[in-house]
Amino acid sequence: MRAVIQRVKQASVAVDNQVTGRIEQGLLVFLGVGPDDGPADAAYITDKISNLRIFADDGGKMNRSVLDITGGILLISQFTLFGDCRKGRRPDFSQAAPPALAKALYEQTIKNLRGLGIPVQTGIFAADMQIDSVNDGPVTILLDSKKLF
């Protein structure tokens, strides 16, 4: 699984001009699922997202997690994180998981995060979504459950 994590002051997602998720301070997370991913990858990503220390402490040092600040997470499924652009000009998405697997692991990640007490808002899986966010910092972190980067 791959995740792009952005520290935000606020973020929202809309489908067909209807807001389906909105958070204030917290994390905007774009999540992609690969064909070889499974529950262990969802657990790894959940642990990293929830405990990533990228919020400032009283001294201004990035030392707090989304759990520490009682922030929210806006979790968006995004198969394009597995787009391969090394050849040609059109991305190849053959390394993205099939929809059934991707949806199951996306939903498992939501369940895992909520199980930690984190308020999680979402888009709609496989929908055309419009995302609004106010990045904080900006701070953007890339994660890969296979530890490729």
Does residue 130 belong to any structural domain of this protein?
A: yes
Mean pLDDT of the chain: 97
Q: What pLDDT is stored for residue 73 in this prediction?
A: 98
In tens, the pLDDT along 12-64 reads 999 999 999 999 999 999 999 999 999 999 999 999 999 999 999 999 999 99
Average pLDDT, stretch 62-90? 97
Q: Is 20 a catalytic residue?
A: no
- Provide the pLDDT confidence category of residue 125 given band limits of 50, 70 and 90: very high
- Provide the pLDDT confidence category of residue 128 given band limits of 50, 70 and 90: very high
- Cα separation, 112 vs 144, whole angstroms: 17
Domain membership of residue 116 as a residue range:
2-144
Q: What pLDDT is stored for residue 115 in this prediction?
A: 98
- Cα separation, 40 vs 62, whole angstroms: 27
Rounded to two decimals, the pTM is 0.97
CATH number for the domain harbouring residue 139: 3.50.80.10
Does residue 109 belong to any structural domain of this protein?
A: yes
Q: Choosing from 80, 109, 122, 140, which is the catalytic residue?
A: 80
Count of the separate structural domains present in the chain: 1
Does residue 44 belong to any structural domain of this protein?
A: yes
Q: Is the pLDDT of residue 149 over 90?
A: no
- Cα separation, 14 vs 89, whole angstroms: 29
Q: Is the pLDDT of residue 141 over 90?
A: yes
Does residue 149 belong to any structural domain of this protein?
A: no
Whether omega before 138 lies within 30 degrees of 0, making that bond cis, reads yes
Average pLDDT, stretch 98-124? 98
- Provide the pLDDT confidence category of residue 6 given band limits of 50, 70 and 90: very high
DSSP string, 57-115: -TTS-EEE-TTTTT-EEEEEE-GGGG-B-SSSSS-B-TTSPPHHHHHHHHHHHHHHHHH
Q: 59: buried, middle or exposed (CB in 10 Å: 19+, 13-18, 0-12)?
A: exposed
Average pLDDT, stretch 56-77? 98
Does residue 62 belong to any structural domain of this protein?
A: yes
